């Protein structure tokens, strides 16, 4: 029997936590175009949840997920258990040098989250050994963090970013959208609209004024807590110092009802 070479460029990997939607399926379809074998994992990783209630309420729909992955052409479904990923438990796990990424935006509001992301993604990559890793741009900061980890550990994996899939309203597809009530779902499109306005005017209007107007538009729409809605350097996520020349991203996290939504839009050069 032939042995598949380690970290083969003919193997693409899509890590997920299940509760799949068309955004996940777009990753699988993109992977199908680049590799002979597409591996998808489903594992709800406890180390990246800094809110125990969020972990407990994370939606599970395994049978539906399997049907969707089969239809999309995934070749292998990897369903590790907790002891597969963390045979020695989750205490005193390795820490990664993430620099300022660990303290900015998501890092500030979800302490420990990105360490958990790196811990699980590294283990998954070592188990699956793909040459290609497909991730969605909706989790923008997570993608930057994972690329940082890959570079730091020198894993022979090339990351492919796939554009955010959106509902017809513009709302970014997310497993968390299932928890929105119909009125919340309708109101949540304000997040995309606010980012769209910020991105369109980022190079011509004062950033502070754009951020203040965006935050107020979310509150007016029914969002009750805004962690951040800002323009940041697209490479470092640091505050923008020169909006005329810097690569920028409009990025946000805010609560509507009990659900925390995140989204981002790149700013055109």
In angstroms, what CA-CA distances link 59 with 17, 18, 20, 146? Answer: 9, 8, 10, 24
24 as an active site residue: the answer is yes
- What is the rounded distance in angstroms from the CA atom of residue 151 to the CA atom of residue 99? 13
Name 221's Cβ contacts closer than 8 Å, sequence gap at least 6: 187, 188, 190, 256
- What is the rounded distance in angstroms from the CA atom of residue 90 to the CA atom of residue 47? 7
- What is the rounded distance in angstroms from the CA atom of residue 173 to the CA atom of residue 254? 15
In angstroms, what CA-CA distances link 111 with 101, 121, 231? Answer: 11, 17, 21
Q: Of 21, 24, 113, 158, which is the active-site residue? A: 24
Secondary structure of the chain: what % helix, strand, coil (to 5)? 40, 20, 35
Cα–Cα–Cα angle for 241, 242, 248, rounded to 5 degrees: 90
Place of tokens 């070479």: 5
Other beta carbons within 10 Å of 183: 11
Tokens of 191: 């997040």
Distance of CA 153 to the CA centre of its chain: 20
- What is the rounded distance in angstroms from the CA atom of residue 207 to the CA atom of residue 55? 35
List the catalytic residues. 24
């Amino acid at each position: 029997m032939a042995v598949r070479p380690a970290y083969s460029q003919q193997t693409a990997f899509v890590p997920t936590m299940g509760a799949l939607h068309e955004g996940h399926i777009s990753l699988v379809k993109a992977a199908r175009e680049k590799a002979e074998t597409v591996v998808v994992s489903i594992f709800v990783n406890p180390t990246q949840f800094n809110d125990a209630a969020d972990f407990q309420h994370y939606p599970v729909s395994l049978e539906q997920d399997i049907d969707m992955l089969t239809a999309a052409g995934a070749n292998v479904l990897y369903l590790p258990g907790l002891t597969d990923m963390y045979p020695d438990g989750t205490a005193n796990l390795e820490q990664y040098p993430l620099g300022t990424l660990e303290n900015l935006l998501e890092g500030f509001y979800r302490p420990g989250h990105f360490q958990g992301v790196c811990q699980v993604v590294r283990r998954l990559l070592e188990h699956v050994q793909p040459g290609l890793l497909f991730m969605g741009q909706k989790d923008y900061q997570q993608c930057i963090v994972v690329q940082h980890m890959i570079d730091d550990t020198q894993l022979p994996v090339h990351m492919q970013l796939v554009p955010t899939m959106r509902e017809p309203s513009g709302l970014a597809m997310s497993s968390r959208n299932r928890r929105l009530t119909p009125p919340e779902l309708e109101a949540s499109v304000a997040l995309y609209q606010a980012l769209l306005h910020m991105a369109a005017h980022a190079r011509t209007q004062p950033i502070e004024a754009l951020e203040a107007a965006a935050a107020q538009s979310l509150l007016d729409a029914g969002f009750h807590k805004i962690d951040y809605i800002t323009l940041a350097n697209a490479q470092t996520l640091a505050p923008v110092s020169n909006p005329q020349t810097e690569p920028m991203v409009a990025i946000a996290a805010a609560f509507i009802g009990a659900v925390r939504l995140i989204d981002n839009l790149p700013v055109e050069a």
